[in-house]
Amino acid sequence: MYANAVLSALSQVSMTGAVAATAVVVLGVGGLAGASTALRGVSIRVRGTVAGLAVATSACIAVAVWSALRPLPPQLSVQSCLGIAVGLFGVFAAAVCLLRSRGRGTVALAFAMAASLLACGAGVVNEDLGTFPTLGAVIGHRAPPGALATDFAAVPGPQAEVQTGDPVASVWRRPLRSARDGMLTHVEIPGAVSGFASRPALLYLPPAYLDSPRAMLPVLVLVAGNPGKPDDWLTLGALAETVTAFAAEHDGLAPVVVVPDALGATDALPLCLDSQLGNVDTYLARDVPDWIAGHLQVDNDPAHRAIGGFSYGGTCSVQLAVRHPDVYPTFVDISGQDEPSLGDHTSTVAVTFGGDESAFAAVNARDLLAVTPMPQLAGVFVSGSGDEEYRPQQQRMFAAARSAGMNARYYELPGGHSPQVWGPALARELDWVAERTGLLAQ
């Protein structure tokens, strides 16, 4: 137990910061002192040649790395090149010493000098690149990637150079100085056009967004259920775990995820319509995309945008896609209903449109699919096999979508109307969303 505790403590020792920098200086001074002793009697010309060869080799390594990662800008800074040169100088100087003498003392001094300068150089490079944040990371013991909560003000702003392509994965080159973790933050998305009074939205940014140059990523808009709030996608939909795992599997790439508030209050039920209950449709179709375009450096091609949700959010996703195929051509409807509802059809039409059935039909997705071909849309309907209330409604929506010529799928997962279905459905469909939105090859 004691040994395990010691090993655990050692694995947490920081490899960056003031303490690590002090260790690097000590190693460097010790190594250079050893080199001075070991090279005593070696001509200045030979010493200069050794130093010049170390610098030249370091420069060649920098060029090789730049060439391998093009079109990224040069990845090894002057600091890293200096660290590489210091380590190489230790190796080359040790070789000169061993060529001159094979005495036991010379061999020991040569290896000590080389080890010290190699460690110093490695420390200099690691301080610059941050590859190994702790001693444990050096031997593979590091915390798994995560999604770190932060303030939106800490998110890196626009960059002059970005990595863009279709699919993005075909051109993505992860920089040497790269983020391991994504970011979770909250943002205010005002109802500038709709006038809808929303609560703060949840925002997930994957590592590839935080890198420099960043990838131009697609956007997935997710809507939570009712009653609820945007953060329910974290607790009920396993959002952080799902997108973190996806990014880890795809070299830091994942969609940027925006979870706007489509309720206005925990127990509100405005139905994602423009009605007497509020203009949530305009909020999601206009205000949210406008805010994304104005505040995030992402791919704003509507073809590379998707919407999804569970329960109330699932209903919203198909409603928004059908009413605005030019805004959300891809959707994931998890455990949604076959029409916006306050409990029963008559009451819903009465409250939202004063009893005007034609006004309701003009914005209801199932009615629109009955009269409007939608071959440009692609969507998936997912239901819990034990969800007796919502499963038949999902089946009706799937049938309506297929009748309208939509590229649609339907399947069931074990569970009822619960997180047992919602999180796994997102995890299962994230690859498909990434393909549809131009992140991964289809």
Shared domain check, 351 and 235: yes
Mean of the per-residue pLDDT values of the chain: 90
Out of 138, 161, 186, a domain closes at 138
Q: Give the Cα separation of 262 and 25 in Å (integer).
A: 56
Shared domain check, 134 and 274: no
Shared domain check, 160 and 124: no
Q: In this structure, what are the phi and psi dihedrals at residue 236, rounded to the nearest 5 degrees?
A: -105, -20
Local confidence band at 139 (pLDDT 50, 70, 90 cut-offs): low
Shared domain check, 286 and 386: yes
pLDDT at 128: 80
Out of 138, 170, 188, a domain closes at 138
Higher pLDDT, 421 or 132: 421
pTM: 0.86
Shared domain check, 130 and 151: no
The CATH number of whichever domain residue 411 belongs to comes to 3.40.50.1820
Q: What is the mean pLDDT of residues 311-336?
A: 98
Residue 345 has pLDDT above 70, yes or no: yes
Residue-range definition of the domain harbouring residue 156: 147-436
Shared domain check, 214 and 197: yes
pLDDT digits (tens, 9 = 90+) for 111-131: 888 888 888 888 888 888 777
Shared domain check, 151 and 258: yes
Q: Is residue 441 part of a domain?
A: no
Shared domain check, 173 and 44: no
Helix (H, G, I), strand (E, B) or coil at 384: strand
Residue 76 has pLDDT above 60, yes or no: yes
Shared domain check, 173 and 125: no
Q: Which of 58-72, 297-311, 374-388 has the lowest mean pLDDT?
A: 58-72
Q: Which residues, 6+ apart, have CB-to-CB distance to 158 below 8 Å?
A: 297
Out of 117, 138, 159, a domain closes at 138
pLDDT at 386: 97
Q: Is residue 152 part of a domain?
A: yes
Cα torsion through 111, 113, 117, 119, rounded to 10: 50
- Work out whether the CA dihedral 344, 345, 348, 350 comes out positive or negative: negative
pLDDT at 147: 85
pLDDT digits (tens, 9 = 90+) for 367-409: 999 999 999 999 999 999 999 999 999 999 999 999 999 999 9
Shared domain check, 287 and 187: yes
Local confidence band at 314 (pLDDT 50, 70, 90 cut-offs): very high
Shared domain check, 71 and 98: yes
Residue 140 has pLDDT above 70, yes or no: no
Residue 146 has pLDDT above 90, yes or no: no
Q: Which of 32-36, 103-107, 195-199 has the lowest mean pLDDT?
A: 103-107
Shared domain check, 389 and 268: yes
Q: Is residue 442 part of a domain?
A: no
Q: Looking at the 3D structure of the chain, how many domains does it have?
A: 2
Higher pLDDT, 39 or 343: 343
Q: For residue 14, give the DSSP letter.
A: B
